[in-house]
Chain A
C-alpha cells in the first residue's frame, strides 16, 4: 500500500509536469537530481488544483473501488428517489453543476461514502434505519460536503506525502492511463480503509446540516440519524467499519450542539416522513432489500412500523 501511495503521488507530480513545462519535475525525466521537497510542493499543488475533468476521472476510479467492494441495490425506482433527494441537496451547495450521482449500496453495513467529482453512496443498512427524508437528506448532505470541500482528494495527497522521497527514488512508472488509474484506485483503497481525518468529518457535519436546511428540510435530520447510531450497540458488526473510520456519534452530536443555534429558526421545516416511508416500503415490497432481517427502524421510529404494517 505504501508503494501504491508513492506511485499515486508520483502520478500527481507527473500530471503537474505534463501541464507546466517550467516545473522542477522536468528534471525527473532528464535524469537530473531532483529536490524531493520541491516535488512535494508541486505534487501538492497538482492535487489541490486538479481540474474538474481530472477530478471526475479520479472520482470515477474511487467510485469503482467502492462498487467493486459492494454492489448496487437492484431497484431503479429507489435509486432514482435517492438521486432526486441528493441532487436537490447538492443544488444548494457551491458546486451545483457537478454531474451528481447518488446510489444505494446493497449492504446491511451502516455507512455512507463520497468520491471526488460528485459520487455519493449510502448503504441500505443505513437507509433502513432512518425514519424520514430529512434524515436521508442530512446524511447525503454530509457526503456532498466532502465532495464540495474535496476532502478525499486532499487526503490522498496528504497520505502520500510522507513517503514521497523514497517513492521518487525507487519507483518507475510506465506509460499508459490504465497504470495511472490503478495507482489512483490503490490510493483510494487505502483512504477508504482508514477514513478521513476527524476534522473533515466534523466540517462535513456542520456543512451537511446547513445544506439540508437550505434544501428546506427539518434541520434535525442528521442529528436524528446520529442519535440512532449512538444508541445502537457499538459492538454491532454492522457498525464496526463506520466506527473505525468516523468519530463516535455522541462526540459528533456534542460538536453539532455547540454550533446549532442559527438553524433552530428552521425547525418547522418539513421532515417529509410520509414520502420517505412510502418509497422505502414500496422498494421493500418489490424485494429490493431481500429480507434484511428487520423491518423499518421500528424501535426508533414507531411511525415507520405503523406505516409498514398499517393493517396488521
Chain B
C-alpha cells in the first residue's frame, strides 16, 4: 500500500515538477545563456507564460514557444498569472502533496495543515525551559566558520542597499496583492 502511494506520488511529481509555470511581469528577452550579454533568442512581452525548468543564480532556465533559454529571475513570477483560488500556482505537485488528493483515485496521503494564527500566540503560556534548551543546540563562532569553509563560502565586504524611492505608495489602493486571483 505504501509503495503504491509512493509510486502515485512520484508519478504526479514527474508529470508536474519539470514544468512549473511562470509569467513574465515586465518585457524581457529570452537569452541563449544566463548572461546579460548573451544572444537574444526571443523578446518576451508582459504576461507571457513560460515553463521554468531550473534556476541558476539570478536566471531561470525556461521553455517558451518551443524554445529553450534563460530569463532573468526578476522578470518572472512563478505561477501562470491566472490561477484561481484553490489552485496553488506553481505548486500543483505541492498542492497534491499537501492536500493529499491524488486526483482520480482520491487516496489520502496526509491530513490537511492548520496554520498558526494570532490566537495561538496570544493564548501561549510562555515556555522559558524551551528557551534554555536553545543553549544546548547553539554553536560557537569557530564552529560556524569551519562549517562555512567546508562549503567554500568566502566572506565578502558589501555595503547595505539603500531604500528605493517610495514607488509602492503610488500604486492604486485596490490593487490585489495576489494579481492572479
Residue pair A293, B113 in contact (C-beta under 8 Å) = yes
Residue pair B121, A210 in contact (C-beta under 8 Å) = no
Residue pair A237, B168 in contact (C-beta under 8 Å) = no
Output the least CB separation between A195 and chain B (Å). Answer: 9
Residue pair A213, B113 in contact (C-beta under 8 Å) = no
Quick check: which of B12-20, B39-47, B62-70 contacts chain A, the rest being far away? B12-20
Closest residue of chain B to A260 (Cβ to Cβ) is: B74
B151 within 8 A of A: yes
Contacts of B154 in A (CB 8 A): 216, 269
Output the least CB separation between B158 and chain A (Å). Answer: 5
Instruction: Tell me whether A70 and B91 are in contact in the complex, defined as CB-CB below 8 angstroms, given that A214-B155, A227-B78, A235-B86 are known contacts.
Output: no
Residue pair A231, B110 in contact (C-beta under 8 Å) = no
B116 within 8 A of A: yes
Quick check: which of A35-43, A92-100, A160-168 contacts chain B, the rest being far away? A92-100
Closest residue of chain A to B162 (Cβ to Cβ) is: A259
Contacts of A189 in B (CB 8 A): 121-122, 124
Contacts of A237 in B (CB 8 A): 112-115
Quick check: which of A17-25, A26-34, A150-158, A238-246 contacts chain B, the rest being far away? A238-246
Contacts of A251 in B (CB 8 A): 168, 177
Output the least CB separation between B57 and chain A (Å). Answer: 4
Contacts of B79 in A (CB 8 A): 230-231
Residue pair A259, B164 in contact (C-beta under 8 Å) = yes
Give Cα A96 to B144, complex, Å: 12
Closest residue of chain A to B114 (Cβ to Cβ) is: A237
Instruction: Tell me whether A92 and B155 are in contact in the complex, defined as CB-CB below 8 angstroms, given that A64-B131, A84-B144, A230-B79 are known contacts.
Output: yes
Residue pair B161, A262 in contact (C-beta under 8 Å) = yes
- Name the one of A216, A240, A293, A297 contacting B148, with C-beta atoms under 8 angstroms: A216
Residue pair B97, A88 in contact (C-beta under 8 Å) = no
Residue pair B164, A227 in contact (C-beta under 8 Å) = no
Residue pair A300, B20 in contact (C-beta under 8 Å) = yes
Which B94-138 residues have a C-beta within 8 angstroms of A?
94-95, 97-98, 100, 109-128, 130-131, 133-138
Residue pair B130, A71 in contact (C-beta under 8 Å) = yes
Give Cα A216 to B93, complex, Å: 32
A107 within 8 A of B: yes
Residue pair A233, B88 in contact (C-beta under 8 Å) = yes
0/1 interface trace, chain A 199-210, chain B, CB 8 Å (1 if under): 000110011011
B156 within 8 A of A: yes
B73 within 8 A of A: yes
A223 within 8 A of B: yes
Most buried by A among B137, B147, B178: B137
Residue pair A244, B118 in contact (C-beta under 8 Å) = yes
Instruction: Tell me whether A207 and B151 are in contact in the complex, defined as CB-CB below 8 angstroms, given that A65-B121, A241-B117 are known contacts.
Output: no
Which A148-203 residues have a C-beta within 8 angstroms of B?
185, 189-190, 192-194, 202-203
Residue pair B87, A233 in contact (C-beta under 8 Å) = yes
Residue pair B167, A258 in contact (C-beta under 8 Å) = yes
Give Cα A68 to B156, complex, Å: 38
Contacts of A292 in B (CB 8 A): 110
Output the least CB separation between B106 and chain A (Å). Answer: 16
Contacts of B118 in A (CB 8 A): 193-194, 241, 244
Contacts of B33 in A (CB 8 A): none
Contacts of B157 in A (CB 8 A): 214
- Name the one of B20, B55, B57, B134 contacting A299, with C-beta atoms under 8 angstroms: B20
- Name the one of A101, A293, A312 contacting B134, with C-beta atoms under 8 angstroms: A101
A284 within 8 A of B: no
Residue pair A298, B77 in contact (C-beta under 8 Å) = no
Residue pair A263, B158 in contact (C-beta under 8 Å) = yes
- Name the one of B93, B122, B144, B164 contacting A255, with C-beta atoms under 8 angstroms: B164
The chain A residues found within 8 Å of chain B, CB to CB, are: 1, 60-61, 63-72, 76, 79-80, 83-85, 87-88, 91-92, 96, 99-103, 107-111, 119, 123, 125, 129, 133, 185, 189-190, 192-194, 202-203, 206-207, 209-210, 213-220, 223-224, 227-228, 230-241, 243-244, 247-248, 250-251, 253-255, 257-260, 262-264, 266-270, 272, 275, 291-295, 297-300, 302-303, 305, 309, 312
Pick 11 A–B contacts, CB within 8 A, sort by A: A64-B128, A92-B155, A237-B112, A240-B117, A253-B77, A263-B158, A294-B110, A295-B9, A298-B93, A303-B54, A312-B10
User: Can you name 17 extra interface pairs (CB under 8 A) apart from A266-B158, A298-B97?
Assistant: A67-B127, A67-B131, A68-B126, A108-B115, A189-B122, A213-B156, A214-B155, A224-B73, A231-B78, A236-B88, A237-B115, A241-B115, A259-B161, A270-B151, A275-B151, A299-B20, A300-B20
